[in-house]
C-alpha cells in the first residue's frame, strides 16, 4: 500500500515535470485545437513620388534650366538685380525645399566665397508681396551639398501640384574681393525637394 502511494506520487511528479517542460518549451502558450486563418495576399509597399522642376519664366518647367548672369554687384553696397525662379512640385507628396552648390565656381581672382551671398526671397505674384529674404554664403552652400543642402525657410511646404516663386540675388561683402573687379563662373545651384507628410 505504501509502495502504491509512492508510485502514484512519483507518477504525479513525473507528469507535472513533463507538463512544466512543455509549457517552458512552448513559451507558456497553450494552443487551441480549433483554428481558422484569413490571409491578406499580394500586398505592395510603395512610397510617394517626389518631383521638383524649375523654370525661370513660370512656364516650361524642367529638371534643369540655364542660370543668370548676376552682374552689377558693388561689393559691400549693392546686390545684383533680382531675378526670378519658379519651383514646381510635380510629385504626389509635399516637399520641404533645400539649396546647395555641388562644387565651387571658377574663381580666378580668389574671391572669399564665405563673403559671397545668395539671397532668396519668396514672392507671391498674385499679391505682389515679397516674403522675408534668406541669405546663404556661397561657401555654406558648397559645404551643405554633402548633407543634402541648406534648408530654405519657405513659409509653407510645397504641396503636390503647386508652385513657389522666388527672387534670387547675389551680394558680396566689401572685403570679399581685393582688386578692381572679380568674376565667378560655372556656378550651379541645386534645389532639392524633400518629401514630408502632407
Residue with cell 514646381: 88
pLDDT of residue 6: 42
What is the rounded (10 degree) CA torsion for 42, 47, 51, 52? 180
**Residue 160 exposed, middle or buried by CB count within 10 Å (0-12, 13-18, 19+):** middle
Residue 100: pLDDT above 60?
A: yes
Residue 148: pLDDT above 90?
A: yes
- Mean per-residue pLDDT, 154-158: 76
Cα gap 53→76, rounded to integer Å: 33
pLDDT of residue 106: 96
Band the pLDDT of 81: cuts 50, 70, 90.
Answer: very high
- In order of their start, the domains of the chain are 52-196 (2.60.40)
Per residue in 8-61, pLDDT (tens digit) is 546 666 666 666 655 565 555 556 689 999 999 999 998 889 999 999 999 999
Amino acid at each position: 500500500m505504501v509502495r502504491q502511494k509512492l508510485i502514484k506520487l512519483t507518477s504525479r511528479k513525473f507528469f507535472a515535470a513533463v507538463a512544466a517542460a512543455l509549457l517552458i518549451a512552448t513559451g507558456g502558450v497553450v494552443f487551441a485545437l480549433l483554428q481558422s486563418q484569413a490571409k491578406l495576399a499580394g500586398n505592395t509597399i510603395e512610397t510617394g513620388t517626389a518631383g521638383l522642376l524649375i523654370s525661370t519664366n513660370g512656364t516650361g518647367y524642367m529638371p534643369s534650366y540655364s542660370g543668370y548672369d548676376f552682374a552689377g554687384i558693388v561689393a559691400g553696397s549693392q546686390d545684383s538685380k533680382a531675378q526670378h525662379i519658379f519651383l514646381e512640385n510635380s510629385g504626389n507628396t509635399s516637399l520641404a525645399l533645400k539649396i546647395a552648390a555641388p562644387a565651387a565656381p571658377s574663381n580666378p581672382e580668389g574671391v572669399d566665397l564665405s563673403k559671397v551671398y545668395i539671397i532668396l526671397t519668396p514672392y507671391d505674384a498674385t499679391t505682389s508681396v515679397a516674403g522675408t529674404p534668406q541669405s546663404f554664403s556661397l561657401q555654406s552652400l558648397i559645404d551643405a551639398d554633402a548633407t543634402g543642402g541648406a534648408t530654405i525657410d519657405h513659409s509653407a511646404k510645397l504641396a503636390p501640384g503647386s508652385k513657389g516663386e522666388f527672387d534670387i540675388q547675389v551680394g558680396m561683402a566689401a572685403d570679399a574681393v581685393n582688386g578692381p573687379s572679380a568674376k565667378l563662373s560655372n556656378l550651379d545651384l541645386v534645389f532639392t525637394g524633400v518629401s514630408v507628410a502632407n
